[in-house]
A = this chain, B = another copy of it.
Amino acid sequence: MTGRYSEDELIARLFAPIAGPAGLGLEDDAALLPASSEPMVATTDMIVAGVHFFADDPPAQIAKKALRVNLSDLAAKGAAPVGFLLSLALPPDWTNDWLAAFATGLAEDAALYGAPLIGGDTASTPGPLTISVTALGRTSRFAPRAGARPGDAIFVSGTIGDAALGLAVRRDPALAARLSPAARDWLLDRYLLPRPRLDLIETVRGGASAAMDVSDGLVGDLAKLCRASRVSALVEAPLVPLSTAAQEAIGLSPSLFETALTGGDDYEILFAADPAYRPPQGVVRIGAIVPGAAAPAILDASKTQMIFGKTSFSHF
């Protein structure tokens, strides 16, 4: 197609301005990261149009989502970003304008989170837009999934379920109509874009015996943390932090509580820590690690174990 950037042009015009020193101007075959006394943390996530996002979502938002889901993983490990690599498979109908808006969103987040672009690849695809990001970070103390010990308390940051309820609102106009505009907007916004909790890196480094980000639903992700740590858990559902918007939605439709606990895209941090640990504001205790191999038990207000139809969200 004429009138579109060549691969060299789009790199030079759109992506090179986002590159950090380690990216060598995106003119080399590889990034070069200086030696450090801290270990390096590496994580990768791929998102596909029609699977993880809508093809007609705003391009800046797609770019931010692709980067943020990776930064969320770094945050949960106690790692500060040093940069990221981006691979982009573009469908036949891409335009310069689309790609410029995508790059603008990426540039905003690269600056916001101190995570410069350091390398990448572009390819054409007959299929949907596909974006793979690999984020690299460094940490003085890595918080593994596998470090939880019986007796540890379980903590979670922020509020849980907003993104999953935002998706429910998007899919259910009747629900949307019954919510207050403020609650509706809050939930929809939380669904659109993750907010990686890089502000909690020091918290994770200081306190967590085990940590992970909540991306596939609190209940399912806690089960993964427990499986990796060879332990089980008890969670008191009434302790799970809910936004006022989520409370309003659940008040209208109580079954949405299950959606909140098992839906995905929270991008908050779930961690285990010594029970004497005092969390910072905005981080709350929701239960305890216990011995055993059973799936975590989620107890309702009457201490009855809740049974879920589906404990975890999977895009796979």
Q: How far is the CB of A155 from chain B (nearest CB, A)?
A: 17
A29-37, A99-107, A255-263 - interface stretch: A29-37
Return the chain B residue nearest A135 by Cβ. Answer: B30
Contact across chains for A146 and B41 when beta carbons are under 8 A apart: no
Contact across chains for A40 and B46 when beta carbons are under 8 A apart: no
| A145 CA / B25 CA spacing, docked (Å) | 11
Q: Check: A127 CB closer than 8 A to any chain B CB.
A: yes
Q: Check: A74 CB closer than 8 A to any chain B CB.
A: yes
| A85 CA / B316 CA spacing, docked (Å) | 18
Q: How far is the CB of A29 from chain B (nearest CB, A)?
A: 4
Contact across chains for B33 and A35 when beta carbons are under 8 A apart: no
A116-124, A165-173, A178-186 - interface stretch: A116-124
Contact across chains for B37 and A33 when beta carbons are under 8 A apart: no
Number of copies: 2
| A87 CA / B32 CA spacing, docked (Å) | 22
Q: Check: A268 CB closer than 8 A to any chain B CB.
A: no
Contact across chains for B77 and A228 when beta carbons are under 8 A apart: no
Contact across chains for A146 and B316 when beta carbons are under 8 A apart: no
Among B35, B51, B87, B213, which residue has its beta carbon within 8 angstroms of that of A39?
B35
Contact across chains for A77 and B46 when beta carbons are under 8 A apart: no
Among B6, B38, B48, B126, which residue has its beta carbon within 8 angstroms of that of A50?
B126
Contact across chains for B32 and A136 when beta carbons are under 8 A apart: no
Q: How far is the CB of A77 from chain B (nearest CB, A)?
A: 5
Among B28, B34, B37, which residue has its beta carbon within 8 angstroms of that of A146?
B28
Contact across chains for B123 and A315 when beta carbons are under 8 A apart: yes
Contact across chains for B43 and A119 when beta carbons are under 8 A apart: yes
Spell out A's residues near B (CB within 8 Å): 6-7, 24, 27-48, 50-52, 73-74, 76-77, 79, 85-89, 118-128, 130, 132, 134, 136-137, 142, 144-146, 212-213, 227-228, 314-316
